Amino acid sequence: MKKRPSAMLSLLPIAVLVAMLIATIKSFGSDALSGASQITLLTVAAFCVLIGMGYLNVPWASFEKAITKNVSSVSSALVILLLIGALGGIWMVSGVVPALVYYGVQIIHPNIFLASTCAICALVSVMTGSSWTTIATIGIALMGIGRAQGFADGWVAGAIISGAYFGDKISPLSETTTLASGSLGVPLFKHIRYMLITTVPSMAIALILFAIGGLLTNSSNAQDIDTFTQAISQRFNITPWLLSVPVLTGVLIARRVPPIITLFLSSLLAVGAAMIWQADALREIDPSLFRASMQSLCGSTSLHTDSDMLTSLVATRGMGGMMNTIWLIICAMCFGGAMSASGMVGGITRLFIHLIKGRTSLVGCTATTGLMLNVAIADQYLCILLTGNMFRDVYDNEGYERRLLSRTTEDAVTVTSVLVPWNTCGMTQSTVLGVSTFSYLPYCFFNLLSPLISVVVAALNYKIFRRKPLAEQN
């Protein structure tokens, strides 16, 4: 007969994971994602299986089923990751990103760059409903502009991610928004309107902090920027026609074409742009334009420029650059499946449920559980579903409307997933932007503030609606 794990036993694999990851990162540094972190996740997953089979009497078949289900749940995300790698490579070689950077550094003043970056990504993400697509397209260009203007990578990535996840959280086109509301039976727009109570203050504070950061950060002077733009124009054939690629990509997104199709078609458009306007750059990669285009999509490329910064910016890894991330995601899903099958996820939840003493602690425990699940399960979609399912009856019995639970779930799970290095979101955005999770984490102000503002609003009892408890209804 299966045993139910205690809260302390359930937390043991998390403690081992954190300790091993700290040791791994300390030993391997930036090379940790090349294999050591993956081995760490599989080792801790094996530790969970050992406890489950040896002490909790959980059969191997349960672990195998849970792991298979977890891995299959991210299969479409893995395809998207490959296409994002291809898109990033060909957008760079075709001159699309260099053109966006070229025009962007001349339009956006450095003093307002960080706040503008956050606002631009928020707008694009609201329209697209996807933080991943936003970061993989306009985010890469803004990253290049920020580097050209002399901003630290962490600041720029933090502004991009803050804006992208604002849209991902409140857009009616967002999968996470639909999932959080639909799984709890809350009408979509009712859920979105209720989220504005916590989301707008979080974004307002974030924009203020980015505005202050932009004023206080020593960015490059006009001469440095002019030198950088000259290097771009000498290396690439910069023409406004290149902007047609992101514009047409935006049209596809606005028409709600599936992300996989959008990214594929956008990559093909960029291949055409490269052959028309950047034939010399392609021939530097390979004399055959076909082989050069294929190399830009699937492998590493580098182009010689007169600027070390620009040379670093336009170096790409294509689909191949995503393989470590895909490997890491699969290993993370194995760990999450082992935690779920052993019942340890439920053990962690029970620990927090015992701490609930009132409205504020209820919201606080929900937010903390969501964050812990992001650490343990490593996939935001599963964490959203699990958080809602775990606390559904608690909110019903306490007499709170479920929209409070759906909002708290988004405040705690959707936006913090990108802050966990081994979470699918954290791994993806770190790889796409070329900035480590720990480097951008302190500057993701919106993501850090959202769960805190959620608890503060609950403590103030602002628009916290109650209904008759189930016990009284019966």
pLDDT digits over 377-426, tens only? 777 776 787 787 678 778 887 888 889 999 999 999 889 989 988 787 88
Q: Which residue has the higher pLDDT, 456 or 131?
A: 456
pLDDT value of position 59: 93
pLDDT digits over 214-263, tens only? 888 776 655 566 777 788 888 899 999 998 998 898 788 778 788 788 88
Share of the chain above pLDDT 70, in %: 94
* Distance linking the first and last C-alpha atoms of the chain: 34
The residue-averaged pLDDT of 437-441 equals: 92
Hey, what are 20's tokens? 């091993």
With 60 as the cut, is the pLDDT of residue 470 above it?
A: no
pLDDT value of position 473: 46
Q: What is the DSSP letter of 422?
A: T
Q: Where does the pLDDT of residue 309 fall: very low under 50, low under 70, confident under 90, or very high at 90 and above?
A: low
Share of the chain above pLDDT 90, in %: 31
With 90 as the cut, is the pLDDT of residue 106 above it?
A: no
pLDDT value of position 474: 42
- Which residues, in sequence order, are bridge partners of residue 301? 316
With 50 as the cut, is the pLDDT of residue 46 above it?
A: yes
The rounded distance, in Å, linking the Cα atoms of 186 and 111 is 41
pLDDT value of position 148: 81
Q: What is the DSSP letter of 413?
A: I
3-state SS assignment for residue 58: coil
pLDDT value of position 218: 72
For residue 424, give the H/E element and its range. helix 424-433
Cα-based distances in Å from 80 to 29, 126, 262, 264: 27, 19, 10, 9
pLDDT digits over 267-303, tens only? 999 999 999 999 999 999 999 999 999 999 998 888 8
pLDDT value of position 166: 93
Angle 359-377/402-409 helices, nearest 10 degrees?
40
pLDDT value of position 29: 67
pTM value is 0.71
Hey, what are 386's tokens? 């699990």
The residue-averaged pLDDT of 315-333 equals: 81
Q: Which residue has the higher pLDDT, 47 or 21?
A: 47
Cα-based distances in Å from 407 to 84, 276, 344, 424: 30, 48, 25, 22
pLDDT digits over 25-41, tens only? 778 865 776 788 889 88
pLDDT value of position 45: 92
Cα-based distances in Å from 353 to 369, 406, 471: 9, 17, 19
| Backbone phi, psi, residue 124, to 5° | -65, -40
- DSSP helix, strand, coil percent of the chain (3-state; round to 5): 80, 0, 20
pLDDT value of position 104: 75
pLDDT value of position 133: 75
Q: Which residue has the higher pLDDT, 200 or 380?
A: 200
